[in-house]
Amino acid sequence: MKKLLIIMVAVMGMNVAMAQGSIVEKYFKELSGNDDYTKVSVSSKMFSLFTELESGSEAEKEFLSAVSKLKGLKIIASDSTPTSRKMYDKALKDVKAAGYEELMSVMDAEEDMQFSIKEKGGKIEELIMVVGGREKFVLMSLYGEIDLKNISKIARAMKVGGLENLELLDEK
Amino acid sequence: MKSSHFRIIVGVIVLGFISINSARAQESILKKFAKSKTEKQYTFYASTLRMLDISKDKNLHEFVNDVEKVNIFLFDSITIIDQSYSELSDMYSSEGFDEYMSMQGGKFAYIAGKEKGKEMEVVGVFGQKDFAMGVYLVGSIPLQKIPKLIEMIKKMELIDLLDLDF
């Protein structure tokens, strides 16, 4: 009985792990070998690689505290894909079908974007951003334990294209 | 000497050998790969890294002290074109290295590491259209300092591959 319980817990744990970033993982697989799309995966341990914060500074301490509960970031991006609109619509459909809750959407002449979240036990465990422009497509997943108050701090500090859109969440 | 003490001592020696050989094996993955595919190879130690730090960052100097060795391999033109360096990511993943960062599509980047107590092994493989390199680092460096060290290697003006401003 005890063994069965351990196996069940292990299987449930595997499912949770697989669920994290699963939408983006699916696109990573679909677009592997397609050089039109840049695919980036960054563990939170390496977030500071993409900042220009001074070592040991107050700003760096603040940033490290903001990312301490995050696990990682995955991005798929292209600024020269003729199928950007198709990709955007497909991604929104997949995000909705996977049970993510829409947080905010922005539409203008240049590009459209949508932020969605996945919550568990009152905590946000994944934030998905989808951006679609004339030839631009971005699909981003930030996962771990997410505090929306810290999102704009992270977005400002990290010099990663597309991440600046997260600052919009601060204006919500 | 009691036989139980003897067994413990023998066990510690055997474990020591296993861990030394295991560390060398992981370093040799890159070394073996680079053997016939490298145009230039650099090896830096704490003292030489301090000399090369053009920013003269005091904080950097402190943790560079704990770097045992950094190997940098600049791959040759054939390897740059065939992009065979990307296979290194699978090789290191199968050795139990944790992936810290990866990038594919146009540019290639892979950074992974393995912690053994205080000692840390980090491997980095970077490639783009006209340049590719492999980095192997060993030392007792705090994990959160690794990005700064990679940043320092970037500042050596050997390469600028981690520009993600697409």
Residue of chain A nearest B60, judged by CA positions: A55
pTM here is 0.75
Residues of chain A with Cβ-Cβ distance to B147 below 8 Å are 46-49
Whether B20 has a pLDDT exceeding 80, the answer reads no
Distances (CA, A) of B5 to A18, B10, B90: 46, 9, 41
Percent of chain A predicted with pLDDT > 90: 40
Beta-ladder partners of B127: B108, B132
How much is the pLDDT for A114? 93
Q: B75 with B37: CB under 8 angstroms?
A: yes
Percent of chain B predicted with pLDDT > 70: 65
Locate tokens 């920013």: which residue?
B55
Q: Cβ–Cβ of A160/B162 closer than 8 Å?
A: no
Q: Which of B144, B148, B164 has its CB closest to that of A160?
A: B164
Query: How would you write B124-137 as a 3-class SS string?
Result: EEEEECCEEEEEEE
Distances (CA, A) of B52 to A115, B107, B111, B149: 44, 26, 22, 12
Q: Which residue of B53, B102, B111, B146 to mutate against A (max A Cβ within 10 Å)? A: B102
Whether B16 has a pLDDT exceeding 50, the answer reads no
* Min distance A75 CA to chain B CA atoms (Å): 9
More confidently predicted of B29 and A48: B29
Cα A170 from Cα A172, distance rounded (Å): 5
Residues of chain B with Cβ-Cβ distance to A161 below 8 Å are 164-166
C-alpha B143, offset from chain centre: 13
Q: B150 with B101: CB under 8 angstroms?
A: no
Cβ–Cβ contact A57 with B under 8 A: no
pLDDT tens digits for range A20-41 = 557 899 999 999 888 889 999 9
How much is the pLDDT for A57? 79
